[in-house]
Structure formats: structure tokens, C-alpha cells
């Protein structure tokens, strides 16, 4: 399977015009600078990246010619689990949304399979619609846990004052990449975006076995414009998702427009 995974990576890297490889220790300083630039704070400093690289876990970067434009790093779970937790991945502004992120994740997948790691997890902010769509539609990951305020109060420029609810994505690395992602369809809306960009909440219809949630298409811009409204969206989404998670509901499809389909398993 790893040969197939490396072929997937090769196509993605050629399309994005980058080469992804494991970083050398001296390159971790630039990698840490990129992460600080993207997050407005340091999710992983250079000493930690160097230590992880030296210990043999995954610390890699995407290069355009000789320029480092993206960083991806993860660490292993317990020995018997054969799981990698991918803690951070980011692409520098001018190279974002050009396939670099896909190339990095597919390189990480192939590297993991070469190291007998068959599963990968990571967390993402469910309010960031493009990340939800990427994880499910592009990679085929499942969305397994809703984690309320997972990291506690965060002080970086992206997350300060916003709470840190996350969804845990789980990617079975030996499965094929989806070629035709499932669409959310037209299930009844429980949460949607109003004309004033405020959340509009509707009750789940009695006896429904599916419902839909729509979040703002660009929450990053919303946070810059109106951080209080963005925080209101955090609570609205939490209330629409988290309580039903314990009842067996899960997101089973994600649209490009930030629409989640929730179904009871």
C-alpha cells in the first residue's frame, strides 16, 4: 500500500510544484518562524522540532525550489496503537490553497505507512469550513470526537478569546483517497447563517435521522471583523453538535460551503 501512497504523493507534489521531505535540524528554525507567522504565536518552537526530528518522529516541510513554504509535524501514539498524531500543519500565505497542504499530508501518509503506522489523527477547528471539507472530502478522514475547549484558553493571534473546541479527525492510511466525496444533500437545517451573519438556530425535527449545520464560509475574516460574533458562533456550533455526539450523531459528509451532514449511527 505504501507504494500506492507514494504515487498519490508524487502526483500531488508535482501538481503543487513542491517537494516535501523531512527537515534537517538547522531548517527547524525557519520552520518554527513559519508556524509563528501563521498562528501569531508559536505552536511548536525550534527546539521542540529539533528534538522530535532527532527522536525519529515526523518533522517535514514543503519546498518550492530551495524555499521552505510549508511545515507539518506529528508524533507517535502508544507503541501498540500504530497511530501518529499530526499536531501541526501550515502553509505560508502565497502558497496556500495551491495544493501544498495536500502534498504534505500525502507525504506524511506515505511516510507513516513505510514505518508501519496505519492510522493518523489530528484536531481541527470545526468552524473553519475549508479545513473540514479538506479533511473529509480530499483525504477521506472520519470525524470521531467533538472536544469542548480542548486546549483551554489559547493566547496566539488566531485563537485568542475564541475558545478551543476541536473535532478529532481519524484517517485510515491504507484506504484509498476518495475520488467522489459524498455530498451533504438537503437535510433540515439546525444551524445556519443569517442575513446579519449571526447564527440562526432551529430545532431538530421530531423523528429526524439526519440534519444539517452550516457555518460561516470564512470564519478567519469574521474573527478579524467581529471577534464577539465569532465567539457567538463557537457557542452556537458547540450547542448544535456536542450534546448530540453522545447520542450517536456524527458528521458523515461535509460540503465545500461549510455544510455538515449529521446522521445518527
Inter-CA distances, 25 with 55, 61, 104, Å: 11, 12, 19
**Pair 254, 137: CB distance under 8 Å:** yes
Cell numbers for 64: 518550492
The CA distance from 162 to 140, in Å, is: 28
DSSP state of 79: T
pLDDT digits (tens, 9 = 90+) for 102-114: 999 999 999 999 9
**Burial, 77: exposed, middle or buried (Cβ in 10 Å; 0-12, 13-18, 19+)?**
middle
Cell numbers for 125: 477547528
Structural domains of the chain in order of their starting residue, each with its CATH number: 2-172 (3.40.630.30), 189-264 (no CATH)
Residue with cell 504534505: 104
Share of the chain above pLDDT 90, in %: 72
Residue with cell 501518509: 109
Its pTM stands at 0.92
Sheet holding 142-147, edge to edge: 19-22, 58-64, 67-76, 83-91, 119-124, 166-172, 142-147
The predicted pLDDT at position 159 comes to 60
Inter-CA distances, 122 with 15, 44, 75, 133, Å: 25, 15, 10, 14
Strand partners, 187: none
Alpha carbon 77 to chain centroid, angstroms: 18
In this predicted structure, the answer to whether residue 160 has a pLDDT above a threshold of 90 is no
The CA distance from 237 to 229, in Å, is: 12
pLDDT digits (tens, 9 = 90+) for 187-227: 999 999 998 899 999 998 888 899 999 999 888 888 888 88
Amino acid at each position: 500500500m505504501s507504494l500506492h501512497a507514494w504515487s498519490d504523493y508524487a502526483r500531488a507534489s508535482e501538481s503543487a510544484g513542491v517537494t516535501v521531505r523531512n527537515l534537517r535540524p538547522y531548517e527547524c528554525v525557519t520552520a518554527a518562524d513559519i508556524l509563528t507567522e501563521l498562528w501569531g504565536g508559536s505552536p511548536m518552537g525550534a527546539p521542540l522540532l529539533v528534538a522530535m526530528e532527532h527522536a525519529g518522529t515526523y518533522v517535514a516541510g514543503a519546498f518550492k525550489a530551495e524555499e521552505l513554504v510549508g511545515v507539518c509535524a506529528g508524533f507517535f501514539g502508544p507503541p501498540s496503537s500504530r497511530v501518529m498524531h499530526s499536531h501541526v500543519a501550515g502553509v505560508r500565505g502565497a502558497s496556500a490553497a495551491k495544493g501544498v497542504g495536500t502534498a504534505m499530508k500525502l507525504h506524511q501518509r506515505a511516510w507513516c505507512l513505510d514505518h508501519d503506522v496505519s492510522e493518523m489523527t489530528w484536531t481541527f477547528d470545526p468552524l473553519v469550513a475549508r479545513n473540514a471539507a479538506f479533511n473529509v472530502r480530499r483525504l477521506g478522514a472520519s470525524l470521531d470526537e467533538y472536544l469542548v475547549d480542548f486546549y483551554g484558553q489559547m493566547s496566539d493571534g488566531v485563537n485568542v478569546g475564541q475558545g478551543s473546541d476541536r473535532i478529532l479527525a481519524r484517517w485510515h492510511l491504507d484506504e484509498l483517497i476518495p475520488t467522489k466525496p459524498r455530498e451533504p444533500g438537503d437535510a433540515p437545517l439546525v444551524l445556519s447563517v443569517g442575513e446579519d451573519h449571526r447564527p440562526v438556530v432551529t430545532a431538530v425535527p421530531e423523528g429526524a435521522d439526519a440534519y444539517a449545520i452550516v457555518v460561516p464560509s470564512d470564519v478567519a475574516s469574521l474573527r478579524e471583523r467581529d471577534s464577539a460574533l465569532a465567539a457567538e458562533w463557537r457557542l452556537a456550533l458547540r450547542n448544535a453538535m456536542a450534546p448530540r455526539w453522545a447520542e450517536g450523531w456524527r458528521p458523515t459528509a461535509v460540503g465545500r460551503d461549510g455544510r455538515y451532514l449529521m446522521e445518527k449511527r
